[in-house]
Amino acid sequence: MTWLKNALQQGVWPWLCAGSVALSLLMLGALLALLLTRGLGHFWPAALTEVTLNSGDVVAGEAVRDMPLPDQSGSERLYFTGNRDLDDARWRWVATDAIARQAQPENLLRLERRTWGDFIGYLEAVEVNGERFTGDDAWQQVQQALSLPTAQRARYQLTLRTPQGQTLRQSLATVISAEAPNAMHLGEKLGAWGSDVWQFLSQGPRAANTGGGVWPAIFGTMLMVIVMSVIVTPFGVLAAIYLNEIAHQGPLTRLVRVGVRNLAGVPSIVYGVFGLGVFVYGIGGSLDEWFFADALPSPTFGTGGLLWASLTLALLTLPVVIVATEEGLARIPDAQREGAVALGATRLEMLTRVVLPMATPAMLTGVILAVARAAGEVAPLMLVGVAKLAPQMPLDGEFPYLHLERKFMHLGYHLFDTAFHGEDVQAAIPLVYATALLLVLIVLVLNLTAILLRHHLRRQRGSEC
C-alpha cells in the first residue's frame, strides 16, 4: 500500500478531479447529442419506401428502426404507414426476410391531416370548380392551394390511392401540409426542415399532442417563471439581508439558517400538496366566497391557476435565493461596512449603497438558479394549475390582460403527458425528444446567463462576491 500512498501524495487527486469534470462534460455532451439527433431529426423529410412482400402484399411508409427477432433467426423492420382511417393502424412490423423488393417512388406522398393523422400514398387527381387535374398538374394545384385560407381550400377535392390500391376522397381543407420527400433535393429538404422546426416552436399542439407545436407551453412556462421571479426575488433578498445583516447571530438565527437550507431539499411534490391545500382550497376558496359568490359552485380562484402555481414555485425556490444572497453578503469584507459608517453613512445607506450593490452578482445568481429549477419542475404544477391543453392563454387583449386565475401549459408537463398519456406513444417519441431538447436548452441558457451576469458585475464593481 506504500506505492498507493506515495502516488496520492504526488498528485493523483488533481487528475481524479480533472477526470470527473471530463466525465461530467462527456455525459452532458452525450445527452445533448442524443436529444439533437432524435429531436431535430424528427423534422427532416424522411424518405418513403414501398415494400413488396413475398406474399404479394404491399407496405409503404417511413422505415423507423430494425429489431432482431426473438428467436434470433433474423430481424424485423418497423414502418410508419399512416392511413389510420383505412386500416386502424399506423405502424407495421415487417420481417426483412419477407421483403421481395423495395423502391422509393418519387410520386409517393405524405399528407398531414387534421383528422386521422398522416396519409401515405399517391395523388390520383384534383378536382376544383368542376375541373379535373391529374399527374404533375394535380401536384402543382395542391402546392399552390396549400397557401390559401382553409375556407378556400374546401373547393379542392383530392382523389388519393393507397399502395394497396384503395381509393380515398379527401378535401384539401383537412390537409395541413403535403410533401413528396423522395423527389426533394437537399435545398428543398432543408427548407422543409426549417419550416417544420418553426411550426413546432410557433404553433399549438394537435392530434393528442402527437403533432403540431409547443408554443402555448413555451409561453406558459416563461410567463409562470416571470411571475414567480417577481414574487420570490424581494422576499428572498430581504430574508437574506435580515439573517446576515440585522438579526442577532445567536442559536435561534443559526437554527433558522439550518431550516432554510433543509427546505431546499424537501421533495417538490410536498410543495405542490401545500399549494393545493393552502393556496387553491384555502385562499382561493375564500376569495371565491367573498368576491365571486355568483359564479359558485364553478370556482374562479378556488382551482388551479397561474397565480397559485407561481406562488408554489416561489416557495419552492425561496431557499435557493436566500442561501445564494446570504453567501454573497457574507463574503463582503466588514471593512467595507465599517468604512461607510465611519464616513457618516447611516446603517440603511450603508446597506443600500455599499453592501447590496456589491452583493448584486450573488443575488442575480440565486434568482437565475431559482428560475432554472422552476422551469423544469413538474410534480407540484400537476396539483396547482398546469393543464394538458389550455384553450385560453393567461395573457391576452381582454381586460385585465393578465389572467392569473387561468390554467396554463408548461413544457415539463407537456413532455410528461406526451410521453405517457398519448394515444400513440410510438408517434410521440420524437416529439418527446424535441421537447426535452427545448427544455434543456432553456435551462442551460438561464444558467449561462447567471454566469455571464456574475462575471460582468464582478469586473464592473470589483466585487469579491
Is 457 exposed, middle or buried, given 0-12, 13-18 or 19+ CB atoms closer than 10 A? buried
Q: What is the 3-state secondary structure (H, E, C) of 387-400?
A: CCCCCCCCECCCCC
Residues 304 and 280 sit within 8 Å (Cβ to Cβ): yes
215-461, CATH topology level: MetI-like fold (1.10.3720)
Measure the CA–CA gap between 156 and 7, rounded to whole angstroms.
79
Q: What confidence tens digit (pLDDT) does each residue in 63-109 have?
A: 988 888 877 778 899 999 888 888 777 888 888 888 889 999 999 99
Residues 108 and 121 sit within 8 Å (Cβ to Cβ): yes
- Burial of 359-394, coded b for 16+ CB within 10 Å and e otherwise, reads bbbbbbbbbbbbbbbbbbbbbbbbbbbbbeebeebb
pLDDT at 11: 62
pLDDT at 318: 92
**Spatial CB neighbours of 363, under 8 Å, sequence gap ≥ 6:** 233, 237, 321, 324, 325, 328, 356
Residues 275 and 283 sit within 8 Å (Cβ to Cβ): no
pLDDT at 310: 92
Please tell me which of 187-201, 289-303, 326-340, 433-447 the model is most confident about, judged by mean pLDDT.
Answer: 187-201
pLDDT mean over 432-442: 87
Q: What are phi and psi of 295, to 5 degrees?
A: -85, -15
Q: What are phi and psi of 304, to 5 degrees?
A: -60, 145
Q: What confidence tens digit (pLDDT) does each residue in 110-153 have?
A: 998 888 888 999 999 999 988 999 888 899 999 989 888 888 88
pLDDT at 449: 76
pLDDT at 395: 78
pLDDT mean over 191-200: 90
> Is pLDDT above 90 for 211?
no
> Is pLDDT above 70 for 3?
no
Residues 416 and 224 sit within 8 Å (Cβ to Cβ): no
- Residue 321: other Cβ atoms inside 10 A: 28
Dig out the grid coordinates for 217 from the structure.
Answer: 407551453
pLDDT at 208: 67
> Is pLDDT above 70 for 16?
yes
Measure the CA–CA gap between 368 and 362, rounded to whole angstroms.
10
Domain segments of the chain: what residues? Answer: 49-103, 109-184, 215-461
Q: Can you say how many angstroms the Cα of residue 199 is from the centroid of all Cα atoms in its chain?
A: 15
Sign of the CA dihedral running 231, 237, 239, 242: negative
Verify cis geometry, omega within 30 degrees of 0, for the bond prior to 400: yes
Banded pLDDT at 49 (limits 50, 70, 90): very high
pLDDT at 401: 81
Percent of the chain with pLDDT over 70: 95
Q: What confidence tens digit (pLDDT) does each residue in 50-59 have?
A: 999 988 889 9
Question: DSSP alpha helices (H): ranges in 351-424?
Answer: 356-376, 381-384, 411-420
Q: What confidence tens digit (pLDDT) does each residue in 371-428 have?
A: 888 888 888 988 898 888 777 778 777 787 888 888 888 888 888 888 777 677 777 8
SS3 101: strand
Verify cis geometry, omega within 30 degrees of 0, for the bond prior to 297: yes
Consecutive H or E run containing 459: helix 425-461
Measure the CA–CA gap between 141 and 353, rounded to whole angstroms.
69
